[in-house]
Every structure is written in structure tokens, then in C-alpha cells.
Amino acid sequence: MPDERLQKVIAASGLASRRAAEALIAAGRVRVDGRRATIGQVVDPAKAKIEVDGLPIGDAARVTYLLLHKPAGVTSTTQDRHAESTVLDFVPTALVPDGARLYPVGRLDQDSEGLLILTNDGGWSEKVLHPRFGVEREYGLAVSIPLSYDQVQVLEDGVPLEEGLATLHHLRAMTPIEIERLEELLDPPPAPGLAWYRVTLRQGWKRQLRRVFGAIEAPIERLIRVRIGPVRIDGLASGKIRRLKAPEVRGLAGGGGRSRGDDRAGADDGAADTTPAGATARATPRPTARGRGAPRPTTDRTRSAAAARKTGAARPPADRSRRKPDRPDAG
């Protein structure tokens, strides 16, 4: 691990800002390997023993952001004596700073699979979870037979649940290439002949999709979370884990990854059709700002000029009475 300035390491621990960390160092409250620290001192966070007011900080306080493709049958909790395995069983020790305690950002029920974030950054996870930040969740789900028109209409209108009216932000049939790419990531492989859909949620109620589809008598056979905000499943196979990239961390905290248009979340997966299930696509005229090549608006003056050119008539003399008065001499 490369050396870093001491105040940056203290700030990364969440104890204080960089400026406040410099004040702690200047006040003699920080020690490195038993010696009083100095402002601007460079340390190796993985090796140095850093103490503030006698309490150690360092790697144990460093934030970590991991993305797991949770398999079906695994609980999202970090401790469950009744569960055969939890999500922490899939985290290599090399990805966890010494002493850090990871926890999932949100949950997937035991039968569901797909993307789940693990972190030790509580403030950041609050931004990802709270509805006011609008971080979308997108799912690929399979049912035994295709949805009927009436079923789609019920889903689009909303299904009453105990928490209120459950709505889907977007629903559409998955394309063959999307289905193929998703099935390659799943273990065990899905049963053949299922009808696959993409669903985007902005609500986050417990087992919402399973309850909603159960209400229309279309029980879900497989449910996979394929997107959280700007973060997509993109080749992450079942049971695999990776670090989140810095742009992904920033995007999630800022509510990024909204659906483009109504929803084109499958475009990057090779989807050519984003028509909602049970609906007919309609082309909408695209308003275009006037620029090069755009037609000029027609006015009475342009009509008169065009008529004059067509008939060969001379252009009428300009009305000089409408000219602005000459500017008076200064002085």
C-alpha cells in the first residue's frame, strides 16, 4: 500500500476532516508508532500504528465498498445461526480491512439473487437506501407463462399493499440477448421456457415484487437484482464479488443511475426493444431547437418577399419612418 499523508489517513477513518486532523496533530494528540506525529508526516496505513488520544485508528476504520452477486438460498444478514450460509461467507479476507465490520446495504430475501452491496460506511449507505435520494433498483424476473394484457394493466395501475399502493416504475419484456446473458451468470441455471421481464422499482418495501406478482396470480420463479442505481450486474457471476469503482461509489451516493427516458436500462445489455409489456410502441415527435439546417419560421414579411420573387415584382422600398432617431452628438 502506498504511503499517504497522516492527515489524509485520519480523515479517511471518519474521525475528522483533513483540516481538523491537522489541528489534532498540531495539538500533540496524534502518535505514530509511539512517537508524537508532525503535520505533513507520511505513513503507510497498512503498517503504521496510529493513535489519536490513545485510541488506535487506521486500516480498521478505512471504508470499503463491495458488490456481491448473492446466490439464491443465502441470507442477506451477516449473522444467522439458523442459516447454512450468509453473505459474509462469500467475502475474501483480502477485501476486508483488519478489524472492519461489513454489513449489507439493504437486503435480498433468501430466495432472491443478484446484486448486493456490502460496506462499513454508514453515512454512505443511508444515502443509497433512503427514498429521498431516488436510487433505483432494477430486476430481471421470470414467471411460468407470459403476462396477460389484464395483468399488465393491473401492475401499471398499482397494487394495494399494507404499506400503500405498490407501483412499478417500469415493466417490459426482456429481449432474447438479455435473457441469454443473464442466464449465463446464474447458478443453478433457470428452467427452460420461462417468460422473462425487466422491472424497475423506486419503492423499497419488503418482498414487494413477490407480493405484487402474487396478487395477479403470476408467482415469480426467479428474481434477480440486475442494477442498483448506476451499478449493473455486467458479467458478475453468481457467488462472485468485486470492489465498487470510485465513480460507482460517487454515483450511488448522488442518486445516479436513473432510467433514461421511461427506462432504457437494458440498452447496455444489447436490448433493442424497450416497449413496455403489453403495450404498443408509439413514435413521439422530438422537439428540435432551431439550428443549422432547421427550417426558418414563416412570417408575413417572408411570404411577401417570396411572392415578389415569384412574380418578378420589385421589392417595396423600406419604410424609413420606422428607423430609430439619430443619436444626438455627445457634449
CA atoms within 13 A on the CB side of 58: 20
Helix (H), strand (E), coil (C) string for the chain: CCCEEHHHHHHHCCCCCHHHHHHHHHCCCEEECCEECCCCCEECCCCCCEEECCEEECHHHCCCEEEEEECCCCECCCCCCCCCCEHHHHCCHHHCCCCCCCEEECCCCCCCEEEEEEECCHHHHHHHHCHHHCCCEEEEEEECCCCCHHHHHHHHHCEEECCEEECCCEEEECCHHHHHHHHCCCCCCCCCCCEEEEEEECCCCCCHHHHHHHHCCCCEEEEEEEEECCEECCCCCCCCEEECCHHHHHHHHCCCCCCCCCCCCCHHHCCCCCCECCCCCCCCCCCCCCCCCCCCCCCHHHHHHHHHHHHCCCCCCCCHHHCCCCCCCCC
Examine the residue annotation and report whether 109 is marked as an active-site residue of this protein. Answer: yes
For residue 240, the one-letter residue type is: K
Residue from 53, 109, 111, 262 carrying the catalytic annotation: 109
Cell numbers placing 150: 389484464
Q: 306 to each of 293, 302, 311, how far by Cα in Å?
A: 19, 6, 9
Of the candidates 197, 192, 160, which has an alpha carbon nearest to the alpha carbon of residue 279? 197
Contacts of 113 (CB under 8 A, 6+ apart): 69, 70, 71, 72, 186, 222, 223, 224, 225, 238
> Which residues are marked as active site?
109
